[in-house]
A and B are shown apart, each in its own frame.
Chain A
Amino acid sequence: EVQLVESGGGLVQPGGSLRLSCAASGFTFTIYWMGWVRQAPGKGLEWVANIKQDGSDKYYVDSVAGRFTISRDNAENSLYLQLNSLRAEDTAVYYCARWSYCSTTSCAIDYWGQGTLVTVSS
C-alpha cells in the first residue's frame, strides 16, 4: 500500500524557518517525480515545488522560489521541503505528492499525504 506521511509542521514566527519531511513507503520511490502542494485555510490548492527522480531538477512556484528548497533522499525514501524567510501568507496545509500517469509533457498526482499544517504568526 502506497503511503506518504508528512511531518514537521507547526507554529513559526514570520522570518523563521521550518523543515517538512515526507516518509514514503509501499512503492519504488526512486522512479517517481515527487512534489509539494499547499492549501491555505479555506482556500484552494496551490502547487509549490517538484523534484525529479534523481534530484537533479527542481521547480518552484514563483512565490516561494529563493525561499523554499525541495530535496529528496532516495536511500531513505524521503522527501523534504525547507521553508525559509516564512511569511504569514505561507500559512497552509502542506501535502506531499507523488506524480504519475505521465505523458511526454505532464503528469498528475495519484497519491497525496494527509498533510501537515504550517502556521506563520507572531
Chain B
Amino acid sequence: QSALTQPPSASGSPGQSVTISCTGTSSDVGGYNYVSWYQQHPGKAPKLMIYEVTKRPSGVPDRFSGSKSGNTASLTVSGLQAEDEADYYCSSLAASKIYVFGSGTKVTVL
C-alpha cells in the first residue's frame, strides 16, 4: 500500500492552467477506472473535487477537470484563481475496498 506519486509542487499565474500528475501501478490507478481528487486548504478538512476520474460533484467549478491514461491520472486546474492555492491529493483503490492516497501536491498561484 505505497502512496501514489505526485509532484511536491506546481505553480501558475492567475488565469493560467496547471496540471498535477498522480502515478501508480497496474494494481491501483491502472487497475480501476476510478480516481478521486481532493483539495485541502491549510488547517481545513479536504474537499472532494473530482471522482470517478472525470466527474465533478455539484458546486465544484468546471475549471477543475480530471483524466487518466494507463497508470497515471491527472488533475487540471484551468483559469487559476487565488483561492485554488492549496494542497491536492489523488486517491485510488489499491485492492478490494483498500484505498491509497497520493503524496500530495502544493499548488501555488504566483
Contact with B along A36-57 (1 / 0, CB 8 A): 0100000011110010000001
Name the B residues within 8 Å of A1 (CB-CB). Answer: none
Task: Let me know if B32 and A109 touch, CB within 8 A.
Answer: no
Partner of B91, one of A47, A57, A112, A115: A47
Least Cβ–Cβ distance between B67 and chain A, in angstroms: 16
| Residues from 81 to 110 in B contacting A, C-beta threshold 8 Å | 89, 91-93, 96-104
Q: How distant is the Cα of A57 from the Cα of B32 in the complex, in angstroms? A: 21
Name the A residues within 8 Å of B101 (CB-CB). Answer: 37, 44-47
Partner of A47, one of B32, B51, B100: B100
Interface band, chain B: 20 to 34
Q: Identify the B interface with A (CB < 8 A).
A: 1, 3, 32-34, 36, 38, 40, 45-48, 51-52, 55, 57, 89, 91-93, 96-104
Task: Let me know if A106 and B89 touch, CB within 8 A.
Answer: no
Top 3 A-B pairs ranked by shortest CB distance? A106-B34, A108-B51, A108-B36
Task: Let me know if B32 and A105 touch, CB within 8 A.
Answer: yes
Least Cβ–Cβ distance between B64 and chain A, in angstroms: 14
Q: Report how many residues on chain A are interfacial, defined by Cβ distance under 8 Å.
A: 22
Name the A residues within 8 Å of B97 (CB-CB). Answer: 50, 57, 59
Least Cβ–Cβ distance between A36 and chain B, in angstroms: 11
Given A61-B98, A105-B32, A114-B45, A44–B52 Cβ distance below 8 Å? no
| Residues from 17 to 47 in A contacting B, C-beta threshold 8 Å | 37, 44-47
Q: How distant is the Cα of A105 from the Cα of B29 in the complex, in angstroms? A: 13
Least Cβ–Cβ distance between B23 and chain A, in angstroms: 15
Given A50-B99, A103-B34, A109–B52 Cβ distance below 8 Å? no
Task: Let me know if B45 and A115 touch, CB within 8 A.
Answer: yes
